[in-house]
Amino acid sequence: MIFSKKNEHELGSDASETTPAGNALDLLKKDHRTVSALFKQFEGAEAEDEKVALAQQICVELTIHAEVEERLFYPAARAALDDKAENLVDEAAVEHRSLKALIAEMDGSSAGDRLFDANVKVLKEYVEHHVKEEEREMFPKLEDEKIDLDGLGAKMAELKSELQAKIGEAKHPRNGAKPSVHVPVLHGGNGAHSKAKSSTSKSKNGHTRSTSHSAHR
Ligand SMILES: [Fe+2]
Ligand SMILES: [Fe+2]
């Protein structure tokens, strides 16, 4: 990464290794603050390599965060909430699809690309809207429910560490190559990249069919 050690620490990118997990809602809010700080830093950045590094880190943070929510938090929320409040989880899941489509759009892009800044700006707006709904509508409802937020938080912190280890270090550009954003692929069928850019399914004859989500792009 291009960041200095100081910046990494300030941004909390290694927070899961140094601080206790806290409950599920605290963990998610902390992620939200981390991404918000990265967007703020992006707005003040001028050097192209710094902008790419920040956009890269935003995509990584959001991809891991969305995966943890989808695999652990949203199912727990769905189980705890009544039918009416469950709609909040459906809406959040749909919003994740749009976020992932935009993140996938940024894959391979460089700071000099015409739409680079616009993509990051729109991603920030999507994220702000989504975070507001989670924190103001969904989370308060869960605080009133009998749900083991500490136990869930511990599981989420564990999954987050696993995903961080899987993604590993950011790739450095080859000598002379322009730095560009590399969207992490977490696994075959559920990563930001694979899910947002295309979804595949087996047809009757066993061939893999690909469906493009062009409406989001
Ligand atoms: Fe979310
Ligand atoms: Fe979230």
Calculate how far, in angstroms, residue 99's C-alpha sits from the geometric centre of ligand 2. 11
The residue that leads in pLDDT, 5 or 144, is 144
- Give CA–CA dist 56/215, Å, rounded: 24
Which residues does 92 contact at the CB level (< 8 Å), separation at least 6? 69, 74, 130, 133, 134, 138
| Ligand approaching nearest to the C-alpha of 61 | 2
Calculate how far, in angstroms, residue 108's C-alpha sits from the geometric centre of ligand 1. 24
Q: Residues, the chain, total?
A: 217
Given a cut of 80, whether residue 127 has pLDDT beyond it is yes
Q: So what's the pLDDT on residue 99? A: 97
Calculate how far, in angstroms, residue 69's C-alpha sits from the geometric centre of ligand 2. 7
Mean pLDDT over 112-140 rounds to: 97
Which residues does 145 contact at the CB level (< 8 Å), separation at least 6? 80, 81
Given a cut of 50, whether residue 165 has pLDDT beyond it is yes
Calculate how far, in angstroms, residue 32's C-alpha sits from the geometric centre of ligand 1. 9
Beta-carbon count within 10 A of 81 CB: 19
Calculate how far, in angstroms, residue 89's C-alpha sits from the geometric centre of ligand 1. 9
| Ligand approaching nearest to the C-alpha of 99 | 1
Q: Read off the pTM.
A: 0.77
- Three-state DSSP state, 208: strand
Given a cut of 60, whether residue 14 has pLDDT beyond it is no
> Residue 184's pLDDT band (boundaries 50, 70, 90)?
confident
> Residue 21's pLDDT band (boundaries 50, 70, 90)?
low
Percent of the chain with pLDDT over 90: 63
Calculate how far, in angstroms, residue 208's C-alpha sits from the geometric centre of ligand 2. 32
Given a cut of 50, whether residue 217 has pLDDT beyond it is no
Calculate how far, in angstroms, residue 82's C-alpha sits from the geometric centre of ligand 1. 19
Radius of gyration of the chain (CA): 18
Q: Are β-strands 208-212 and 198-202 bridged in parallel, bridged antiparallel, or unpaired?
A: antiparallel
Q: So what's the pLDDT on residue 115? A: 96
Calculate how far, in angstroms, residue 175's C-alpha sits from the geometric centre of ligand 1. 37
Per-residue model confidence as pLDDT tens digits over 91-122? 999 999 999 999 999 999 999 999 999 999 99
Q: Amino acid identity of 191?
A: G
Per-residue model confidence as pLDDT tens digits over 38-79? 999 999 999 999 999 999 999 999 999 999 999 999 999 999
Q: So what's the pLDDT on residue 169? A: 64
Calculate how far, in angstroms, residue 173's C-alpha sits from the geometric centre of ligand 2. 30
Chain mean pLDDT for the chain: 80
Calculate how far, in angstroms, residue 184's C-alpha sits from the geometric centre of ligand 1. 17
Calculate how far, in angstroms, residue 209's C-alpha sits from the geometric centre of ligand 1. 28
> Residue 209's pLDDT band (boundaries 50, 70, 90)?
very low
Given a cut of 90, whether residue 37 has pLDDT beyond it is yes
| Ligand approaching nearest to the C-alpha of 24 | 2
